[in-house]
């Protein structure tokens, strides 16, 4: 398990160890030959980036060939971020089996490290692009109608939990990084009036919940390069 080499020299080390304990097995010979071929070819194509590490043991018993793990240089404490191996009988049509090579990438693990180390940052803290304000407690149903209309068109939003003063509701949205606040009022005839405010610029315009869209860059949370990098 301590044998690690950047070339096929691991073969002789394993054979010497096997001879010491009088171990002979056809499967051992086959495995050494296959791994040596993989290492030689991979090292030729990516010099200095491939290592034969005999301590690697994947926890799944359906691998039948070489298994591999990938680590980020300088962030080895993360562990493997991309792992997989060869399956001799990955698929079958009922009469014939087919081999394959598979892998999985730990996207969540990588993104978590990127954000925690400050290499990049999210454009806002929450998915919501719109905060629907409440004029009064009786307006809760109408506010949720607006939210439903926006969500149906792929616009993430949330409704205020209570009818606090508008300044307080705007401050809440600002704290969470939500760029737009939606206001619902009524005209003299009692018909609903909808307005949306960009709390960054202060611009407030009339809006229709059935057609209004935020700018593309505000629709979803963006992962952006941290300042100074």
Q: Region 75-101: what's the mean pLDDT? A: 91
Position 162 confidence tier, pLDDT thresholds 50, 70, 90: very high
| Percent of residues, the chain, with pLDDT higher than 70 | 98
Q: Lowest mean pLDDT: which of 4-8, 100-104, 186-190?
A: 186-190
Domain boundaries, the chain: 4-117, 130-225
1-5 long-range Cβ contacts below 8 angstroms, 24+ apart: 1/54, 1/55, 2/54, 2/55, 3/52, 3/53, 3/54, 3/55, 4/51, 4/52, 4/53, 4/54, 4/55, 5/39, 5/51, 5/52
CATH number of 4-117: 3.30.930.10
Answer whether 0.75 is exceeded by the pTM: no
Taking the domain 130-225, which CATH number applies?
Answer: 3.40.50.800
Mean pLDDT over the full length of the chain: 92
Of 11-15, 31-35, 88-92, 127-131, the poorest mean pLDDT is in: 88-92
Residue 122 pLDDT: 85
pLDDT digits (tens, 9 = 90+) for 42-67: 999 999 999 999 998 877 677 888 99
130-225 has the same fold as 4-117: no
């Amino acid at each position: 398990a301590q044998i690690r080499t950047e070339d096929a020299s691991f073969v002789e080390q394993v054979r010497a160890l096997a001879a010491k304990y009088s171990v002979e097995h056809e499967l051992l010979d086959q495995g050494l030959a296959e791994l040596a071929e993989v290492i030689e070819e991979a090292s030729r194509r990516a010099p200095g980036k491939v290592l034969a590490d005999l301590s690697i043991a994947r926890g799944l018993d359906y691998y039948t060939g070489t298994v591999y793990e990938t680590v980020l240089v300088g962030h080895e404490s993360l562990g493997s971020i991309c792992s997989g191996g060869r399956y001799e009988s990955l698929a079958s049509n009922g009469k014939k089996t087919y081999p394959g090579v598979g892998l999985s990438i730990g996207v969540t693990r990588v993104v978590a490290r990127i954000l925690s180390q400050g290499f990049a940052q999210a454009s806002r803290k929450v998915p919501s692009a719109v905060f629907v304000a409440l004029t009064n407690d009786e307006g809760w149903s109408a506010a949720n109608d607006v939210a439903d209309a926006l969500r149906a068109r792929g616009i993430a939003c949330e409704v205020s939990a209570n009818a606090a003063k508008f300044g307080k509701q705007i401050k809440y949205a600002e704290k969470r990084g939500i760029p737009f606040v939606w206001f619902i009022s009524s005209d003299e005839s009692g018909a609903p009036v909808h307005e949306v405010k960009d709390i960054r610029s202060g611009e407030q315009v009339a809006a229709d919940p059935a057609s209004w869209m935020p700018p593309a860059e505000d629709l979803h949370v963006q992962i952006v390069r941290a300042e100074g990098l």
